[in-house]
Amino acid sequence: MLALFQTIDLALNLYTWIIIGSAIFSWLYAFNVVNPGNRFVGMIGEFLYKATEPALRPIRRFLPDLGGLDISPIILLLLVFFVRRLMWTSVAPAFL
């Protein structure tokens, strides 16, 4: 059972880095630091978008309009952090 919790924790940790990468990539794209015409850059952007958008879309629906500021990645990171802490402090001790 410990291996299952460690695997879930690893997947959530990797997803945390994907969320951070997506946020950084969106800033680089918005400020024209990366070349949007480059095929490799487009592939990276598409992967990050497809990996994070299904989780970010429901959060964005409930957030108020803050103009150009998108805080949905921060809220998603807090949710992932909460799930990881809940898993290790409440759920895992019951099974171990």
Q: What's the one-letter identity of residue 9?
A: D
User: Could you list the residue range(s) of the whole structural domain that residue 29 is in?
Assistant: 18-95
> Does residue 12 lie in a domain region?
no
- Note the pLDDT of residue 22: 97
Give residue-wise pLDDT tens across range 47-66.
999 999 999 999 999 998 88
> Does residue 4 lie in a domain region?
no
> Does residue 76 lie in a domain region?
yes
Looking at every residue in the chain, the average pLDDT score rounds to 94
> Does residue 36 lie in a domain region?
yes
Give residue-wise pLDDT tens across range 17-36.
999 999 999 999 999 999 98
> Does residue 3 lie in a domain region?
no
Contact 22, 51 (CB under 8 A): yes
pTM score over 0.85:
yes
> Does residue 91 lie in a domain region?
yes
80's CB contacts (< 8 A; 6+ apart) are 12, 15, 16, 19
